[in-house]
Amino acid sequence: MEDLQNAVFLEELWADSDVDAATLAQSFENVTMTFNTEDGSVNVVSEMRTDTGLPMFEWKMTPATGEVIQISRTKDGRSEKTINKDVDPAELTAAPVNEQPASYGGSLSKLL
């Protein structure tokens, strides 16, 4: 959780974008994280919204398929960048959820 308070580590969640550094840093002030305990998926969404109401930044991971999606949008909503990555599902599902540590003290980048 300490890494989640550090914008340097959170930058790894958002797709590269043309957003200025101040806006990028502000995007980490309020995020919503959703953990699906049935399929293990994780969604992280910035509360910053485009003029059309969509989140400016999103990150999604599905362990069963190894799919990781990063989305960034400009404030005016005219431009969207999506990066799709495929990760070996075995790396994402090394242990059942109930055997995972309750907290993690290392770098967020090690989880990604």
Q: For the full predicted model, state whether its pTM sits above 0.95.
A: no
pLDDT in the model for residue 91: 76
Least confident window among 2-11, 54-63, 82-91, 99-108:
99-108
Please report whether residue 39 resides in a domain. yes
Examine the pLDDT at 44 and tell me if it is beyond 70.
yes
Examine the pLDDT at 102 and tell me if it is beyond 70.
no
Please report whether residue 31 resides in a domain. yes
Please report whether residue 105 resides in a domain. no
Domain range enclosing 12: 3-93
Cα(78)–Cα(8) distance, integer angstroms: 26
